[in-house]
A = this chain, B = another copy of it.
Amino acid sequence: MTLLGTSIINGAAVASSSATFTAVNPATSSPLAPPFHEATLGDLDNAAQAAALAFDSYRRTTPVQRAQLLERIATEIDALGDSLIQRANAETGLPEARLAGERGRTTTQLRAFAALITDGSWVDARIDRAQPERKPLPRPDIRRMLRPIGPVLVYGASNFPLAFSAAGGDAASALAAGCPVVLKAHPAHPGTSELVMQAMSTALVACGLPPGTVSLIQSSLTEISTALVQHPLIQAVGFTGSLGAGRAIYNAAAARPTPIPVYSEMGSINPVFLLPGALAERGTAIAEGFVASLTLGVGQFCTNPGVVVAIASPHLDAFLAAATALVTKAAPGSMLYEGIRRRYDSGIAALAGRAGVALAAQASQPADPARTQAGARLYRVSAATFLADAHLREEIFGPSAIVVVCSSAAEVEAVARIIPGQLTATIHAAPGDLGASGALADILVQRVGRLLWNGFPTGVEVCPAMVHGGPYPATTDARSTSVGTAAIERFVRPVCYQNAPQDLLPPELQNANPRGIWRTVDSTLTREPLL
């Protein structure tokens, strides 16, 4: 597969600028050919215009047509074969097995959205029939359903070059909803993004859909990222990344003459609470699971467990001893790119310098900067220190965690109460911990998108019930999820038809219910047609 090294806009390779940037293999610090042309402001205007034009026909496609597109994109991604995995490995340093798994997640997501829209009931159709005899005034016929919002801007995520980039969950859910997509590739993996874009272009052509339905913008420049969110034709934004970048995009969107929704999925420390019974019953097993979760993918998951909270006890000491041994043995790994490694190093340096923070363990093998490596770190603080120092509650992206040692259940609850919005929180509890577990769950559920028991937060299922979201600063919109089929709800809005002629109603709202979907008719769920 040959890489063009360009943006792909409205179906065409575009190299408007002679300025280029180059991906770097983090495992070797070597640049990767080819250079990629920087997109210009004119390029992104063209991409947005093409998306708006495509919307005029794409929004009229049937669910079956859109499902075919999603299925075809999945097929074309699979058809890229090893070349995709090898390029992603070179650009990210992520192991090939992990990337193959991530590719499976990506195609699973595409197929899950295809199934959702083929079923069709997700549009939340509601029909309130006319009551011509009602007094004092007759009631008109009122019908509503969810409809696509318009062109969606998707920023690729550095830590998921496939599942949260290019054809990842944001683009898949937008395309499923009926929205064209302008993709901004993450500059750390432009080649991977181009390969996936080629698969998407092939699928668009095969399905006879307009080329402007998906465009890809290549840029390493902040001003291009900002200009994209400010473009008046963009109607919504999906982003996964740092708090700083996610908030900047949110701010830019809110300052537009016409504000738009921004779904920024950002930082999280994903606290893990270890209750006494669980520590007594299986502290060593928990330590194994915890360190595996902490170091998975060199700690570069949004759901990485960055804080452990427990009451001091001999069982906690045993957990700490086991965790310390495992962290010490953990091999350093290459991070995604040099900037992330630098931020990790400065993050742990700042943490180590704060009052009351003790280093509990670190990887014994030194990290090799030439290979962009980072090693795991485990710190220990008292609950009093954690409660007093807000810096300890900020994410350090990478394989580091803080164990917060409490003196009582009340102190555990105080720690739970001070934690800001999170993607996840976890409770490890044995049957005897049920009372404490309930009280803690009641506190945590106010702060998280997902609350889990006796597991680890890394590993996010793609399913209808998943919530990968949460109160700020976990995201800029706690009403949404970026994983699972409910992610489609981010890119639609309800539209209501009053006394519309049957011929002018969407099929979903016609009396005959030709798509056979579930509808709320006069407040009752039914799949029956109306007489």
Identify the A interface with B (CB < 8 A).
Answer: 115, 119, 121, 126-128, 137, 139-140, 142-144, 147, 149-150, 250-251, 254-255, 258-259, 261, 421, 429, 434, 437-438, 441, 445-446, 448-455, 459, 461, 463-467, 469, 471-473, 476-479, 481, 486, 492-501, 503-504, 518, 520, 523, 525
Q: Is the CB of B476 within 8 A of A140?
A: no
Minimal Cβ-Cβ distance residue in B for A468: B496
Measured between beta carbons, the chain B residues less than 8 angstroms from A494 are: 449, 467, 469, 479, 481, 486
Measured between beta carbons, the chain B residues less than 8 angstroms from A469 are: 493-494
From known contacts A149-B478, A251-B254, A503-B434, infer whether A467 and B451 are also in contact, taking CB-CB under 8 Å.
no
Minimal Cβ-Cβ distance residue in B for A115: B523
From known contacts A453-B500, A455-B498, infer whether A121 and B525 are also in contact, taking CB-CB under 8 Å.
yes
Q: Is the CB of B518 within 8 A of A525?
A: yes
Q: Is the CB of B441 within 8 A of A504?
A: yes
Q: List 7 A-B contacts (CB under 8 A).
A: A127-B465, A128-B464, A147-B445, A250-B254, A452-B500, A464-B523, A518-B525
Give the number of copies in the complex.
2
Measured between beta carbons, the chain B residues less than 8 angstroms from A486 are: 126, 144, 494
In the assembled complex, the CB of A523 is this many whole angstroms from the nearest CB of chain B, namely 6
The 5 closest A-B pairs by CB, nearest first: A452-B498, A467-B496, A254-B254, A126-B465, A450-B496
In the assembled complex, the CB of A372 is this many whole angstroms from the nearest CB of chain B, namely 28
Minimal Cβ-Cβ distance residue in B for A467: B496
From known contacts A147-B445, A478-B149, infer whether A463 and B128 are also in contact, taking CB-CB under 8 Å.
yes
Partner of A464, one of B126, B451, B501: B126
CA distance A254 to B256 in the complex (A): 12
In the assembled complex, the CB of A261 is this many whole angstroms from the nearest CB of chain B, namely 7
In the assembled complex, the CB of A118 is this many whole angstroms from the nearest CB of chain B, namely 12
Partner of A450, one of B121, B465, B481, B498: B498
Measured between beta carbons, the chain B residues less than 8 angstroms from A459 are: 137
CA distance A463 to B134 in the complex (A): 14
Minimal Cβ-Cβ distance residue in B for A143: B465
Measured between beta carbons, the chain B residues less than 8 angstroms from A250 are: 254, 259
Partner of A128, one of B139, B465, B503: B465
Q: Is the CB of A437 within 8 A of B504?
A: yes
From known contacts A445-B495, A450-B496, infer whether A465 and B503 are also in contact, taking CB-CB under 8 Å.
no
In the assembled complex, the CB of A116 is this many whole angstroms from the nearest CB of chain B, namely 8
Minimal Cβ-Cβ distance residue in B for A452: B498
Measured between beta carbons, the chain B residues less than 8 angstroms from A473 are: 258
Partner of A498, one of B139, B147, B453: B453
In the assembled complex, the CB of A370 is this many whole angstroms from the nearest CB of chain B, namely 33
Measured between beta carbons, the chain B residues less than 8 angstroms from A518 are: 525
Q: Is the CB of A139 within 8 A of B461?
A: yes
From known contacts A466-B142, A518-B525, infer whether A501 and B434 are also in contact, taking CB-CB under 8 Å.
yes
Q: Is the CB of A142 within 8 A of B496?
A: no
CA distance A496 to B147 in the complex (A): 25
In the assembled complex, the CB of A59 is this many whole angstroms from the nearest CB of chain B, namely 8
Q: Is the CB of B137 within 8 A of A454?
A: no
Measured between beta carbons, the chain B residues less than 8 angstroms from A147 are: 445
CA distance A438 to B479 in the complex (A): 34
Q: Is the CB of A452 within 8 A of B525?
A: no
Q: Is the CB of B503 within 8 A of A466?
A: no
CA distance A531 to B486 in the complex (A): 25
CA distance A139 to B463 in the complex (A): 10
CA distance A19 to B323 in the complex (A): 63
Which one of A465, A467, A481, A523 has the highest number of Cβ atoms from chain B below 10 Å of its Cβ? A465
Q: Is the CB of B140 within 8 A of A465?
A: no
CA distance A232 to B115 in the complex (A): 41
Minimal Cβ-Cβ distance residue in B for A485: B523
Measured between beta carbons, the chain B residues less than 8 angstroms from A478 are: 149, 493
CA distance A437 to B464 in the complex (A): 38
Measured between beta carbons, the chain B residues less than 8 angstroms from A434 are: 501, 503-504
Measured between beta carbons, the chain B residues less than 8 angstroms from A501 are: 429, 434, 437, 453
Q: Is the CB of A499 within 8 A of B454?
A: yes
In the assembled complex, the CB of A473 is this many whole angstroms from the nearest CB of chain B, namely 8
Minimal Cβ-Cβ distance residue in B for A421: B258
In the assembled complex, the CB of A430 is this many whole angstroms from the nearest CB of chain B, namely 11
Measured between beta carbons, the chain B residues less than 8 angstroms from A452 are: 140, 497-500
Measured between beta carbons, the chain B residues less than 8 angstroms from A492 are: 479
In the assembled complex, the CB of A186 is this many whole angstroms from the nearest CB of chain B, namely 24
